Structure 1
């Protein structure tokens, strides 16, 4: 157990009549919505994930799971602009991830998996660490469709919605595959902390929209969080490149009870015991859409 300061909580007294508009460097308009929270206890998720439950059952119960996985990817910076012959993400990582989903994370279910041949890199020389508590994409199919349009095209977003609305589709989720890369040592600098969704009350959720973030210039939907001492925060100490943390960043099921919250708030945090000479974190995120089909 450690205690650390987490940023990005919304003031409990803030009354909203729509999404809180947020720029990366602060609010877009209106009163400053942020609230300072006391140091937050963050428990060791390795102690929670003891191996008594299979990987797929642990993911279903908690919204996150750590999976042993040694990838054969050599170039984590390859991406959509590269030819197939030189794109390790397309040729190697995407098949690895699909196998993980079908064999270990969602075994025995009828699935349609949607991956892109790119990922988000963070660390020196790439994107900065995301140091604000958030959940990606919001709560509803409309939220996801709007965000998808902001990052792609209206036609692509409409095609996703048309597939989601088909009667053979039971639901849809987005899984984030988060791992360290290019690191010879176990991670100590700026690890990721995750909030157990069962500890998040509906009243804690605050719809938010990122302004001037997507390449289209359109707002993207996500959720912000009001601080609550009942939240249960976890992290996996000293992750290695042979492990991948999988967590849900969006989920909707057509027959799910209203108010059933299953996705994971998360943020990077400064671990108080990080040695001064610890290597800076190098990591990547691969976000994968999965349609769950009816049996």
Structure 2
């Protein structure tokens, strides 16, 4: 595969800029233990403890080399994915129709024998709290840790099946997409090439809810991180993000991603609307 971390492409109207220089929100260090307090949807915004700072990074437009990306190397891919869902704000339709579509997509892209779709979050950049949604996450993070990945299996599967599945390979994938009918103009997602992540870059962060405490990784700043994004995502595209892999054979096991303010967004950019669905994939 070509070196996707150092692309040299000429910008053109179809793919846009070759790269943008953007600010992303990292942990600068671990002088303050990171903790995130998440209120119930529609009641407020998360509160984050930690020594967070914005750092300027070069965000490469990955569209020209999207087909060279790998879930087992970079830990994210872009896939064409048509959907029959008419209204992603309709909870019943999302769960009945979209969950099935995502299950088939993850099976297709990973070769997993079983996929369990277990959670989703709708995000919007406009009046999120009062509408009962969440805002885009402007923080470099990964949704699961060495501890919370296996725990999710225990939480979701019957005890006997969980014990059997934990003895074989499993992974957690997020599937992210634009749910508006217009291309995304504001706060796209950026992704760190997993091959540029060092173990010290992943800091355990307690995720505190009203009824439980979980764990995620927050990203600690590393100038070696190689960032990528897909500008102007449309409704028939989906990004798969690997957030956990039990296999320890050298493949990517974790990733880092964040929404960011795109300096090329128009002044009157449409607010971002997106959905992310979380899945567990199992291999026999």
SS in 2 for 1:39: strand
> 1:282 is matched with which residue?
273
Distance between the aligned counterparts of 2:72 and 2:257, measured in 1?
17
Distance between the aligned counterparts of 1:95 and 1:66, measured in 2?
19
> 1:101 is matched with which residue?
106
Shift in Å at residue 48 of structure 1? 2.7
Q: Which runs of 4+ in 1 moved over 4 A?
A: 158-162
8 Å CA contact retained: 2:85, 2:93: yes
Shift in Å at residue 144 of structure 1? 3.0
Q: Does 1:237 align with 2:231?
A: yes
> 1:228 is matched with which residue?
222
Distance between the aligned counterparts of 2:254 and 2:34, measured in 1?
19
Distance between the aligned counterparts of 1:5 and 1:225, measured in 2?
14
> 2:206 is matched with which residue?
209
Deviations 1:24-50 (A, max 9, x none): 3232xxxxx32424311111111231x
8 Å CA contact retained: 2:27, 2:52: yes
8 Å CA contact retained: 2:72, 2:252: no
SS in 2 for 1:277: coil
**Counterparts of 1:150-169 in structure 2 under 5 Å?**
157=155, 159=157, 162-166=160-164, 169=167
> 2:57 is matched with which residue?
40
> 1:67 is matched with which residue?
79
Distance between the aligned counterparts of 2:80 and 2:27, measured in 1?
35
Q: Which runs of 5+ in 2 are unaligned?
A: 1-18, 38-45
Deviations 1:51-105 (A, max 9, x none): 3x5xxx72233211111112000121233xxxxxxx32233212222222223x0
Shift in Å at residue 194 of structure 1? 0.9
Q: TM-score, normalised by structure 1?
A: 0.77
Shift in Å at residue 157 of structure 1? 1.8
8 Å CA contact retained: 1:164, 1:171: no
Q: TM-score, normalised by structure 2?
A: 0.80
Deviations 1:271-292 (A, max 9, x none): 0011011211111111111122
Distance between the aligned counterparts of 2:190 and 2:176, measured in 1?
11
Count of aligned pairs between the two proteins: 252
Distance change >3 Å, CA 158–CA 267, structure 1 → 2: closer
8 Å CA contact retained: 2:183, 2:232: yes
8 Å CA contact retained: 1:4, 1:270: yes
Distance change >3 Å, CA 63–CA 261, structure 1 → 2: closer
Say what the alpha-carbon RMSD is for the aligned residues.
2.5
